[in-house]
Structure 1
Amino acid sequence: MKNKRIIIISSVLVGCLLVYFLLMGSSGSDETSIIVDVEKGEFIVEVAVTGELEAMNSVKITAPLNLRNHRVYDVTVQRIIPEGTVVNKGDFVAMLDQSDLNNRIQDRQLELQEEEAQYEQTQLDTTLQMREERDKLVNLRYEVQQAQLTLDQSQYEPPATIRQNEIALEKAQRTLEQAEEALKIRQQQNVAKMRAAATDVFKDRRELEAMQNVSKEMRIVAPESGMVIYTKNWDGRPIKEGSQVSIWRGGVVAELPDLSEMNSVTYVNEVDIRKIKTGQTVRIGLDAFPDKKLTGEVTKVANVGMQRPNSDAKVFEVMIKVNEVDGTMRPGMTTSNTIITNQFEDVVFVPLEALHNFGDSVSFVFVSDGINYRRQEVKVGHTNADAAIIELGLDDSDRVYLSMPSNETKLSSISLLEELEGKR
């Protein structure tokens, strides 16, 4: 009886050991593999990008745009008040470097002095010239009178003498007429010369006055009341002391934003931009306030790509209207934008890590059958950053491996989908 009991216990132990080693043999090599359930439900396709808040409307604070009329196209910010300062209309905002403008003012002053000297010289020359012409005319009139007197006194002289005196009188009269005509022409010429000289002086005076007026505008004041926000230069960096402001680009130094309506400006790469359309919903977060959750809507998508500073990749500007605005939000704050490009209900999906490819045409997953597994072809639909929709090949009762099983080479065949025959 005792021996029988020992035999039974030994048989049970051997059986347990056999079951243990069978289980270890089939799964021991995959003890690190992770198996997850296939999910079914709502699936959201998103594009996550970083943006920056800006006011939808703002008043520009600019350098004097008339600088370009005086061939000054870039100007340096010499001094500027701290960003975020609240100012009233007329308050000081910035001082611009006047070196280039002052040099041009000095040049114009010298030119004006030369033009004024030239005007005075022209005036003296024409006065002297006209006096000489009038004196000459007086002398010619005397000559005509003398010739007339000589003719009158020769009435008893021989005909030849009389004729000679008549010719002398005619010649004197003709010379006088020519001199009178020449005087008129000379007078017109001198008037034109004086007018031209006066015009040059007037033009230089006007330009000098305009330059001096622009010089006064180099001290920039606030056109309205509000909070001063620095604008960004062509390279994306905020304007600061020492920055160059381009007059050709509008000469904007700072802005007074309307904080009641705000956008988040972001840039999307050329791969994801095809997914972005106006009207799409956006989830917005603020780096400065991690707990604040906002919503928005895509209002504008650029048609033409651009190259951002320090980057070779092409990106497209996307404008997102922020639906909720409060007093803590400021232009320039960094936003995290999640653009919802598509949304599906009641679909089957798996993590991206579960997907594998055979060649270029077959996508498959490792489906767990309890102890064993099989390779199952699947038809993949839309994807997001974490998962992919499975249109054919799985249902929500299946479980799949997140990675390739270590003994995967023992299983060489893939269960192909009949629905995809001839379509791969």
Structure 2
Amino acid sequence: MLLVFRDIQSKGSFFRVLFFSLGIIVSLTGCNTLPSESEASAQQRQSSENQTTPVDIATARTGRLTEQPEYTGTTAPAREVSLRSQVTGQVLNMTVDIGDPVNQGQTVARLDDALLVSAVNQAEAELASLRAAVARAQNQVSNAQAQVERSRLELQQAQADLARQQRLLQEGAVPAQQAEQARTEAQTAVQILRAAQEQVRTEQQAVAAAQSQVTAQQAVVAQARRQQSYARLTAPIAGKVMQRLTEVGNFVQPNTEIVRIGDFSRIQVNVEVSELELASIRQGQAVTVRLDAFPDESFTGEVSRISPAADQTARLIPIQVVIPNNNGQIGSGLLARVQFESEVTQRVVVPQTALSPNAAQGTRQEQESTIFVVAEGTATEKEGTVTARSVTLGESANGQVEILSGLQAGERFVARSGGTLTDGATVRFSILSES
């Protein structure tokens, strides 16, 4: 019995040790499987994020469904003047070079004017001689007029003598021969007066002829002086020197080009449009011009001229566009890209993916739909609340649709959703969303 008891006692100890070991193993296993507090919080956030729908947010803007056609042209100054020599001579100096700014009336070159000065002096000397001839002729007129006055007095005296002799003849106081002599003297005085008057007219004609010669010579002098002035070449407009076509020392003939000046206060661009597009273009219409030389800038101008004649081969109409160049940065010969501004009213344009596919109802399904707009005051950097809004649709093209009413420019809306949205739903903004 004692042996049996000891055997049972030893077995009981064995089981106690076994159970104790198993308890330690279970405890260690349980500690590894229970989640920590940080892991539980992360799991809760992950579960919350999985409940929000990811969306792309965009800002409503006005625009057009289709891009306006673009035309290419080349820049040129608004005015371009070729300054040419009008006289023969050697170039003495030039005061400008390519790219230099010039003012209207500024001297840009001088020619040798020695021969021109000599021609002016000779013409002026001839003019002085003719003026002296006029003075002499006028003196002759004065003498002739004095003679007329003397002849008129003599005639009056002869006529008075004749009247007295005739009265005495009737009284028988004088012979008839003496009365006849008085008549002859009176007639002679009349002839002398007429001759003196004719001489006055002749002298006056001589004065007129001399004055005509003076006038003609004055024109010669003016022409000579004008020719002399051509030796100094001045800029007819304000602008910049585009080309310098001769050098000091060269001998130039009339019509030889000296410099070319361009007015760069405005820039013109010539483009050609199809006859089918001519109806949408009018003079004074606004245009947008982009230059490859200034890729970050755009320039606003207007249509200044529409040619009345089209190219007979391609049926293209030349259009002239003018843009301002206040700072003078735009030069000549640059590639320009021109877009004519459409007079059609711009509307809010959104992608068709922003429209709710199941929101439109009734017979106006093609005209009305629903867009989800980010509610004001509820958005954070990562998520926000959206509200459903009914909008009226216009035309659509190229994956875009016009919004006629219901959405204003500047409002934020859901451009694309990763799931089905409901009014008041909380959404998560994707990295593609506009801030």
TM interval, shorter chain, is: 0.3 to 0.5
TM-score (norm 1): 0.44
CA radius of gyration, larger in: 2
TM-score (norm 2): 0.43
